[in-house]
Amino acid sequence: MRHPSDGTLRRLVDEPAGVPDADREHVAACPGCLSGLAAAQRDATLTGAALDVELTSDVDAGWRRLASTIAADGRRRSAAAHPARRWRAALRSPVVAAVAVAALLAGASAAAAANWLEIFRTERVAAVTLSRADLVALPDLSGYGTLAVTHQPNVREVTGEAAARQVTGLPVPRVGKLPRGVTGAPTYQIGDRVEAVFTFSAEQAARTAAAAGEPLPPPPAGLDGSRFRLVAGPGLAAVWSEARGVPALIVARAVAPTAYSSGAPFDTARDYLLSLPGLPEDVAAQLRHFSADGTTLPLPVAADQLTSRPVDVGGNPATLLTARDGTMAGVVWADDGQITAVAGSISADEVLTVARELRWSR
């Protein structure tokens, strides 16, 4: 018969019950295998001696230390890094405002209906590159009118995948094989549907233009006071954390943003707003290009920190983002009215493998 493998000889050293009888009988009668077994035994003993450290651990002291860390961590998190507060801060940031502007203005239909009309539906995601200077120059959405958030996302952790699925009505991701360095079970974060209404104000736009030192081009008739409704979510995320609390891997899915209007000629409005002073010309040009069909969600990318390239995930066009310093990678795509993102402190190849092998349980 064939000689058992080195792995089988190794198992004979410390778990012989796991080795088939036939292999054991062979080894007992085979000088070559016996010598291999002796070598395996020698290396195992040597390694054991080298690795073993004699120690006594003080469980009570360890527990006191952990309890105080948890208490301090709770205070710190609730003060500084509360998810809902982070989200609200994000809504105020210029980058998110730019996405919101783009989504709001992306509609190509020139409807002037009294009722809410769908003007934008996410079917694709594309990267819009911004330089650091662009980021600084971008005006807040409040520079063009009033933004009222009518439904808060209330991002929170839930007890498990069943709860995440039940509350959001979304399928829960199943990652077949975790990338190297990512272990354990994920925690689940969910967010409710977000709804915001933006009312365009010619007066505020004029003030923003004045602050930028340029006169406001005359707004098209009917735009002043026009309302736009942006809806997104609910969403859920499975988060695998490293022991230091840094997310090692996040798989998130949300109902993709959709925008509605209460009546304004959108192609005109979009072109008008994108020409306002304050929005850098190259950014405006990209947004104009991407939002032309009313189905592509622009994803702002800081060019000095990230590179982006188009990829394919399960037949859907996707955007792969890689940090220039190699610390993280992520991929985003839209499919059937939902946006999915896979990101983590892993390589671009690993991110793509996870994304392409994702299964969803409903």
Binding site for another protein (CB under 8 A): 5-11, 14-15, 18, 40, 42-44, 46-48, 50-53, 55, 57, 59, 62-63, 65-67, 69-71, 73-75, 77-79, 82-83, 156-157, 159-160, 177-178, 180-181, 183-188, 241-245
Q: How far is the CB of 181 from another protein (least distance, A)?
A: 7
Choose between 47 and 305: whose C-beta lies nearer to another protein. 47
Residue closer to another protein (CB basis): 282 or 357: 357
Q: How far is the CB of 162 from another protein (least distance, A)?
A: 10
Q: Which residues have CB under 8 Å from 246's CB, separation 6+?
A: 345
Burial of 127 from C-beta contacts in 10 A (0-12 / 13-18 / 19+): buried
E strand map for 289-337: 296-302, 306-313, 316-323, 329-335
Least distance (Å) between residue 174 CB and another protein: 14
Q: Is the Cβ of residue 1 or residue 50 nearer to another protein in the bound state?
A: 50
| Count of residues making up the chain | 362
CB nearer another protein, residue 4 or residue 219: 4
CB of 33 to another protein, least distance (A): 13
Q: Is the peptide bond before 234 cis (omega within 30 degrees of 0)?
A: yes
By the 8 A CB rule, do 266 and 107 touch?
Answer: yes
Q: In terms of CB distance, is 73 or 203 closer to another protein?
A: 73
Least distance (Å) from another protein to the CB of residue 313? 22
Residue 142: other Cβ atoms inside 10 A: 14
- Give the distance, in angstroms, between the CA of residue 273 and the centroid of all CA atoms in the same chain: 29
